[in-house]
Structure 1
Amino acid sequence: PQAVPSNTAARYICPVCQKGFKHPSGLRIHSTSHTGEKPYTCPEEGCGRSFSVRSNLRRHFSLHYPNLDTSLGNGEDDG
């Protein structure tokens, strides 16, 4: 990742769209939006949906499991 001066809030800049991130993990997760990679697959048999961001998979779970609390997580997967 390309680092920019530390006095700015976003230190890591996407080389494709110039979106900035405070942490390299944010940039890494965001990069899947450009590559088309979708590593997070719904485990529900017969569904087959995949997502580039884990939080989108958690939101998708509500279709299969309406009473499941999908708000848990570390917050580092929103790109």
Structure 2
Amino acid sequence: MFAKSSGWMITFFYTSTKTVSQTPKRYKCEVCQKRFTRPSSLTTHSYTHTGEKPFKCPVEGCGRPFSVMSNLRRHQKVHKK
């Protein structure tokens, strides 16, 4: 970000940089053509198309399903209060 002062007014100029991954994205979603560097990322992404939620909360009476394991782990914290 750069700032340019002109009297009492300051104008900001934003610059952005895009990092290009050195890892080739070899795994392609056949539904939307999005590419991934890891097969596990493609698998997780595929749940957005199928609606599958294979990770269930193990707490009795809950059983809330999640498509991403890390979301289940975050959810489990609500049961520890």
Structure 1 segments (4+ residues) deviating >6 Å: none
Q: Looking at both structures, which has the greater relative contact order when contacts are Cα pairs under 8 Å and sequence separation is at least 6?
A: 1
Out of 54, 59, 62, which is 1:47 matched to? 62
For residues 13-68 of structure 1, what are the alpha-carbon distances to aligned partners after superposition, in whole Å with 9 as ceiling and x for unaligned? Answer: 112222221011211222112111111000111112001111111111121125xx
1:19–1:65: structure 2 CA closer, same or farther, 3 Å change rule?
A: farther
Pairwise CA distance, 1:9: 3.1
Q: Which segments of 5 or more consecutive residues in structure 1 lack a partner in the other structure?
A: 1-6, 67-79
Structure with higher strand content: 2
Map residues 1-79 of structure 1 onto 2, 5 A cutoff: 9-65=24-80
User: CA RMSD of the aligned region, Å?
Assistant: 1.9
The TM-score, its normalising length taken from structure 2, stands at: 0.62
- The one-letter code sitting in structure 2 at the alignment partner of 1:25 is S
**Between Structure 1 and Structure 2, whose CA radius of gyration is higher?**
2
Percent identity between the two aligned chains = 62
Segment drifting more, 57-66 vs 46-55: 57-66
Amino acid at match of 1:55: S
Give 5+ residue unaligned stretches, structure 2.
1-21
- The alignment's TM-score, normalised by the length of structure 1, stands at 0.63
Amino acid corresponding to residue 64 of structure 1 in structure 2: H
Letter in 1 for 2:25: A
